Structure 1
Amino acid sequence: MNNSALSVLNTVFGYAEFRKPQDEVINTVINGNNALVLMPTGGGKSLCYQVPALIRSGCAIVISPLIALMQDQVNALTLLGVKASFLNSSLDHQQANNVEQALMQGQLDLLYIAPERLTQPRMLSLLQQCNIALFAIDEAHCVSQWGHDFRADYLQLSLLPQQFPLVPRIALTATADPRTHKEISEKLQLDDAKHFVAGFDRPNIQYRIGQKANARQQLLNFIRHEHAHDAGIIYCLSRKKTEETANWLCQQGLQALPYHAGLPNEVKELHQNRFLREDGLIIVATIAFGMGIDKPDVRFVAHLDLPKSIESYYQETGRAGRDGQAANAWMVYGLQDVIKLKQMLDKSQAPEQQKRIERQRLDAMLGLCEITTCRRQTLLHYFAEHLAKPCGNCDTCITPVEKWDGTDAARKALSCVYRSGQRFGVNHLIDILLGKNSAKITQFQHQQLTTFGIGTELDTNQWHSVFRQLVSRGYIYADMDSFGAFKLTDKCRPLLRGEESVELRKDNTQLSKKQNARKSSKSKVKANVPEHAEPLWQALRALRKKLADEHGIPPFTVFHDSALIDMITTKPGNREQLLAISGVGVSKLDKYGDQFLAVLSEFDA
C-alpha cells in the first residue's frame, strides 16, 4: 500500500486501515490507470477516489447525478480540511464564476459536477485549461439504458477518454448484474480498466418478504415493534400512495414525510434535508428518492409495493445500515402488484427487446419473493456471487417456510381459467371456485361450469395465493389488452395432463410470534450501548446534534454512531486517545475534540 495513501486515510479521514479492495483500487488510480469498481453500499466507494484526489497533482472531477447531495458531500469534505466545491444549477452566475476561478487557479482538491454540465462545450474547454487529477464517475449504473436509474447524460461521458486521454478514470456503482456490468464497461470505454468486484453481500441487513393482508397495519406493527424512533425509508409505487401513507403514519403518531418527483423542488429539498439532519424521521417515497443517500443510520427500508427488479430492490434496500449496524429490509406484496407491474410494462413504449429483458428481471424479482430457501443466497446468485451456506439472517432462514402439495388446487385454478373462456380476472375466478352466486356469475351463467364450487376447501385469501404463485411461476398471465383477464401459457399443459406436480408455499401474512416478541439487539444500534451508559450515549448525541445544527450539516457528518459507541467503550481521556478512534481525523479532532472530551470527562467523574 502506498504510504502516502495510508497517511491521508489516517490523518484526514481518521481511519486506521483500508478495507479490501480499497487499497488496490486506490493504488491503481494513483498510478494513473483506469478502474471500474462494483462495491456494496456502505463499502467505502468514495474513499476510492477521494484519497487519490489528495495525492495526485491537480483537481479531481467527480461526476454525480444528484444535485441535492453534492452540498452535503462537499460540506463533509470541507470539515475534514479538504478543498472541495461543486458546480450545478443551484448556484447563481456569480457563485458559479467563483468556483470556476478557484478551479482555474488550482485551489480545489475535488470538484463535484452534474453530467449535463460537464459535457457542455464551455465546461470542457475550461477543464482543458486545468490540471485534472482524475475523473470519478459515481453511480455509474446510470449509463445502462435498461437499468433502473438510467440518465441519458451519462451516455455522453464516453467523450472523456477522447478529450482527456492521459487522465485516469474511475467508475463506481453499488448495483450491477453481469449484463449491466458489461454495459458500463462498454459505454464508458473502460474495457482496458482494471475491474474490482468487492462482493454484494450486506450481512447486517435482514431480508424479510411477506404477503399483503392489511399492508398499512402490517407496516405499522413492524415499525412499532422493531423500529420506534428509528430513521427509515418506505417505498411505494405511486405518488398518490406515498402522500396517503405518509399522512396516515403521521396520524398514528410517527414522523413521516412524502417524497416524489411531482412535488415542488423546494418541498423535495426541504424533506430530504430534514431526513438527513433529523433523527428518527421516516421518508415515504417513490424511486425518485434515495440514489446516493449517505445517511448511515437508516435502520429499515420497507416496500409496500413490489419493486420492478432485483437491481431496484438491492439498490433500495442497500440504503439501510450503511454504518454496518444491523438493519431490516421489509416488504409485503400481493397479486395486484404483479398484475400492475406487468400492465405498466406491456403499455410502455420501450422496444420489444427491452421489454423482454424487463420481463425477465420482474420474473427474477418474483422468484426471490416466492422461494422457500435462503433469500440471501438467491439475491447474491443473481449478481453472480456464491454464498456457500444459508445466511441465517433472512425470514426463510429464521422461520423456515411451510410448503404444501398444491397440484390439485393448481389444476382446479387452471381449469377454471380455461372453462370460463380465459376472459376474467382473479376475483371472478375465485367466486366460481367457491360457488358464489354473484350477479356476475348469474349474468354469464357460470354456475353451470364444471369448476363451479369445486374449490371450497380453500378460502379467498388462499386462492389469491394460489393464483399469485401460478402467475409468478409462469403458468398463467394477466392479459392487459383484455382488462387483466387471466390466460394460460404453454407451461401449464403438463400440469393439467397430470404429468407434473407443484409444491406451493404456505403464506404467512403475520409476523411470527418469535419475530413479534423479539426485541432484537440486531435491529437497534443503541442496543450496542450498555444500559448503564444510556445517559452518556444521549449526551454525546445531543452534543453532536448541537454542533451539526451550528454548521448546517447532518449529525452523522460530525461523527457516525459507531464513533460515539467507540467513545463510550474506550473512554478516551485525552486528544491522542480520541484520535485513535475510527472516524476521528486531525481536522475533526481540532474542531470537536475538546467538546466531546469534556462530555466524556463529565460522565467519567
Structure 2
Amino acid sequence: MSDLSILQQVFGYPSFRGAQAEIVAHVAAGGDALVLMPTGAGKSLCYQVPAIARARSGHGTTLVVSPLIALMHDQVGALRELGVAAELLNSTLDAAQAAEVERRLLRGDLTLLYAAPERVTTPRFLALLDTLHAQGRLALFAIDEAHCVSQWGHDFRPEYRGLSVLHERYAGVPRVALTATADALTRADIIERLQLEDARLFVSSFDRPNIRYTIVEKRDATAQLVRFIEREHAGEAGIVYCQSRRKVEELADTLCRHGIEALPYHAGLPAEVRQAHQDRFLREDGLVMVATVAFGMGIDKPDVRFVAHVDLPKNIEGYYQETGRAGRDGLPADAWMAYGLQDVVNQRRMIDESPAPDEFKAVLRGKLDALLSLAESTDCRRVRLLAYFGESSEPCMNCDNCLQPPTTWDGTEAARMLLSTIYRVQQTSGMAFGAGHILDVLRGKATDKVQQHGHERLSTFGIGAAYSEPQLRAVLRQLLATGALAVQPVALASGRSFDTLVLTEASRAVLRGERPVRLREVATASAAGARRRERAATPRVAAAAAALDAAAQARFEALKAWRADVAREHQLPAYVIFHDATLAAIAERCPADLESLAQISGIGSVKLERYGAALIEVCRAR
C-alpha cells in the first residue's frame, strides 16, 4: 500500500500538505531526517504514516519518544480510533498494564509505541529494544519535540541528551527528529547531539497566516486582557501565559470574576489538580487556561482561538512555540501580548544574575534582543518573526502594525535628555537610581527624594517637561531593548534589591546624536479603545460552521452533541473523534449513505465503519 493510500484509507485525508509527501517517502524508505515544521502543520503524520508503511512491509515497531504523558495518551487514543495498533509505556500504567504492553511489543503486535526519554534510556527498556533489534523488528525511531535536546532551545531537557544511545546502539535503524521551533544555533545542536549529521534536513515555512499578531503597550495588563477576551473571544478557548505562579492564580480568579471561565496551571499545583485542569481544557469548549510555561508543549487542541502573554517570554522560540498553540485547525486565531518597561528590566536582570557562563549569557541576551526588536518594531510583525528563522516574506496585512500602521516620532532628543540625566544624577550622587526617580528629575518633579539628593539643581532638571511620562517610558524601554542602557540591581540591607539604570558603551552613540531613536506614538486609552472596537467590527474569516445555513447549523450542533457523548465514553478529547471542520462538512453535505460520507476529509476506513451509520442517522434526524 502506498503512502498516499495509507493517508487516505487510515487517516481519511485526500492528499498530503506541503512537504509531508516528500518527508514521508524519505522516512518510509529508511532515511534519517530532521523535520522543522510549524505547530499545526501535521508533523505527526510525518512519522505515523511511515510507521504504518514500514510495519506493513515487515520492519516491525516504531518507537516514538515524547516528553509529555498527556500528549502520549491523546495521540495513542487518536491512533486507536483509526484502527492503528498503538500503545504507550509511562508512569500512568501499573505493573500489570506495563507488562502487558511489553508482551504485545515482543509479540510484534504494535505498530507504534510511545515512551518518554527517561524510560527509553533505562537498561530494562534498552533490553527490550535489543530483543527487537536482534529479530529485525525495530522499524523507526521518531524523536518528537527534538529542540529539547539543545541547551540553546527554549525548553532544554537534559534527559534528551541520553537519546544519542539510539544511534550508537542501533545504528541501522532510521531516525526522524521533529520540532516546531529551532533557530540555526539550535538546529546545529540537535544535529550534533543526536548524531544526525547525515540526515536530510526538511525546513517548512514557519508562517502561520491564520494567526494575527498584536503587541500592545502594557498599562494595566489584567484590564487590557479582560477587554481583549470580552470583545474578541468571548466564550472561546484560549491560553494566557504569565511569568509567576502567583500571577497565574490571581489572573485566573480575576477572569472568573468577570464571567470568563478560567483555570490555573503551574508546577506548584498538586499533580492531580494540574492533570484535572488540563483534561478539562482539552475536553470542554470555551475554557481559558492561565498558565506558566509549564503548560502547553504537545497540546493538540485544534480550536484554541487565542494565546495571550501578559509577561514577555524569554526568546522568540518560546514566543513562537506558545503562540503556535492557537489556531491549529487553520481557522483565524490571535496572538496577543502586553509588553512594558518592567518586562525588559526583569528579563535583563534574570540573565545577568543567572549563574550561567558568560558565553551562555551572551547567547541568551542575543535571543532576548531579537524578541525585544519584534516587540518594539513598527513594521510587519510577521516579517520580523519569520526573518528570525531565516525565512523572507512580504508584509502580511494580518498583524497590528499592518492593519493599523503606527504613527512614529523622533525620540532621539528625548533619549539624549534621558541619558544625560542618568549620567549627571550618578555623577553628583555617586550612586545609580531607578527609572521613577530619573523621570521625576527629567520632567521637573521636585519630590522629597529629588530634593533630598539636590537633584532639582541639576542642569537637566525639568528639561523633559514637554514629554509625557508614557512617552519617556517608551524611550527608556527602547534604550534598554537596544542595549544603550543597562539594569544594575542594588542590594538592600533587608536582603531585597531594587533595579537602577546605568549607561553602557552603546550610550555614547545616542548621546552624540549618531544613533537615531524612532518610536511608535503612544496611543491614548480612548484612541486605543476606538481602534480595538474598529478592528473587532472588521469582518474576519468565518469559523468552521459560520457559513452554514440554519438547517446545516442545527445538524452541526447535533453532531457536536453526538461527538461529545462518544468522547466521554472513550475518555478522549472531542477533537480526537472528529475535528470541527469534519463535522461542519458533514452538516453541510448531509450525506445519505456511507459512500457519500467517505468522500469527506477526516473520515478514514475504520472511522467510516465504526461511526458512519450513526453520523448518517444524526443528519437524518435533523
Same fold (TM over 0.5): yes
Contact 1:211 1:509 in 2 (8 A): no
Partner of 1:448: 457
Partner of 1:468: 477
Partner of 1:516: 533
Partner of 2:488: 479
Change in 2 beyond 3 A, CA 1:574/1:507: farther
Q: Structure 1 residue 477: deviation in Å?
A: 1.2
Q: Within 1, Cα distance between the matches of 2:198 and 2:597?
A: 43
Q: Structure 1 residue 200: deviation in Å?
A: 0.4
Partner of 1:318: 324
Q: Within 1, Cα distance between the matches of 2:538 and 2:308?
A: 18
Partner of 1:264: 270
Change in 2 beyond 3 A, CA 1:531/1:515: farther
Partner of 1:427: 436
**Paired amino acid for 2:533:** N
**Paired amino acid for 1:522:** R
Q: Structure 1 residue 570: deviation in Å?
A: 2.6
Equivalent in 24, 27, 48 of residue 25 of structure 2: 27
SS at match of 1:129: helix
Partner of 2:115: 113
Contact 1:537 1:564 in 2 (8 A): yes
Q: Structure 1 residue 508: deviation in Å?
A: 3.1
Matched, 1:560 2:557: no
Contact 2:205 2:391 in 1 (8 A): yes
Q: Within 2, Cα distance between the matches of 1:501 and 1:196?
A: 40
Change in 2 beyond 3 A, CA 1:509/1:354: farther
Partner of 1:165: 171
Contact 2:545 2:584 in 1 (8 A): no
**Paired amino acid for 1:275:** F
- Structure-to-structure mapping, 1:139-288, within 5 angstroms: 139-288=145-294
- Structure-to-structure mapping, 1:36-185, within 5 angstroms: 36-56=34-54, 57-130=59-132, 131-185=137-191
SS at match of 2:2: helix
**Paired amino acid for 1:442:** Q
Q: Structure 1 residue 509: deviation in Å?
A: 6.7
Q: Deviations over 1:252-272 (max 9, x none)?
A: 111100111111111111011
**Paired amino acid for 1:383:** F
**Root-mean-square deviation over aligned CA pairs:** 1.5
Matched, 1:528 2:546: yes
Matched, 1:16 2:14: yes
- Structure-to-structure mapping, 1:487-502, within 5 angstroms: 487-502=502-517
Matched, 1:301 2:307: yes
Contact 1:226 1:519 in 2 (8 A): no
Q: Within 2, Cα distance between the matches of 1:96 and 1:520?
A: 54
Partner of 1:438: 447
Contact 1:227 1:524 in 2 (8 A): no
Between 1:206-215 and 1:482-491, the stretch displaced more is 482-491
Change in 2 beyond 3 A, CA 1:151/1:467: same
Equivalent in 334, 344, 348 of residue 350 of structure 2: 344
**Paired amino acid for 2:129:** L
Residues paired across the two proteins, number: 600
Contact 1:277 1:554 in 2 (8 A): yes
Q: Structure 1 residue 330: deviation in Å?
A: 0.3
Matched, 1:578 2:580: no
Partner of 2:495: none
Q: Within 2, Cα distance between the matches of 1:523 and 1:341?
A: 36
Q: Within 1, Cα distance between the matches of 2:515 and 2:356?
A: 36
**Paired amino acid for 1:594:** A
Instruction: Structure 1: state its 5+ residue gaps.
Output: none
Instruction: Calculate percent identity across the aligned residue pairs.
Output: 53
Q: Within 1, Cα distance between the matches of 2:420 and 2:486?
A: 14
Q: Within 1, Cα distance between the matches of 2:327 and 2:242?
A: 20
SS at match of 1:490: coil
Between 1:555-564 and 1:497-506, the stretch displaced more is 497-506
Change in 2 beyond 3 A, CA 1:28/1:526: closer
Q: Deviations over 1:483-529 (max 9, x none)?
A: 32111122222332234432222133754534424245537625633
Q: Structure 1 residue 242: deviation in Å?
A: 0.5
Q: Structure 1 residue 380: deviation in Å?
A: 0.3
Q: Within 2, Cα distance between the matches of 1:342 and 1:27?
A: 45
**Paired amino acid for 1:36:** L
Q: Within 1, Cα distance between the matches of 2:199 and 2:513?
A: 54
Contact 1:299 1:524 in 2 (8 A): no
Q: Structure 1 residue 453: deviation in Å?
A: 1.4
Contact 1:115 1:153 in 2 (8 A): yes
Change in 2 beyond 3 A, CA 1:240/1:19: same
Partner of 2:494: none
Q: Within 2, Cα distance between the matches of 1:547 and 1:375?
A: 41
**Paired amino acid for 1:363:** D
Contact 1:425 1:485 in 2 (8 A): yes
Q: Deviations over 1:531-558 (max 9, x none)?
A: 5243333222222112111211101011
Q: Within 2, Cα distance between the matches of 1:222 and 1:520?
A: 15
Contact 2:152 2:185 in 1 (8 A): no
Q: Within 1, Cα distance between the matches of 2:515 and 2:4?
A: 61
**Paired amino acid for 1:470:** L
SS at match of 1:330: strand
Matched, 1:590 2:609: yes
Q: Within 2, Cα distance between the matches of 1:61 and 1:199?
A: 27
Change in 2 beyond 3 A, CA 1:174/1:499: closer
Q: Deviations over 1:134-184 (max 9, x none)?
A: 000000000011221111111111111111111110000000011111111
Q: Within 2, Cα distance between the matches of 1:515 and 1:485?
A: 35
Q: Deviations over 1:401-444 (max 9, x none)?
A: 11001122111111111111060111111111122222211211
Instruction: Structure 2: state its 5+ residue gaps.
Output: 492-497
Q: Within 2, Cα distance between the matches of 1:413 and 1:98?
A: 69
Matched, 1:406 2:421: no
Change in 2 beyond 3 A, CA 1:276/1:146: same
Matched, 1:392 2:392: no
**Paired amino acid for 1:76:** A
Change in 2 beyond 3 A, CA 1:462/1:165: same
Q: Deviations over 1:197-251 (max 9, x none)?
A: 1110000100000111111111111111111111000000111101110011011
- Structure-to-structure mapping, 1:326-405, within 5 angstroms: 326-387=332-393, 389-405=394-410
Q: Deviations over 1:248-300 (max 9, x none)?
A: 10111111001111111111110111000000011000110001111111000
Q: Within 1, Cα distance between the matches of 2:150 and 2:565?
A: 42
Q: Within 2, Cα distance between the matches of 1:418 and 1:13?
A: 65
Contact 1:299 1:523 in 2 (8 A): no
Q: Structure 1 residue 480: deviation in Å?
A: 2.2
TM-score when scaled to structure 2?
Answer: 0.94
**Paired amino acid for 1:525:** A
SS at match of 1:457: coil
**Paired amino acid for 1:321:** G
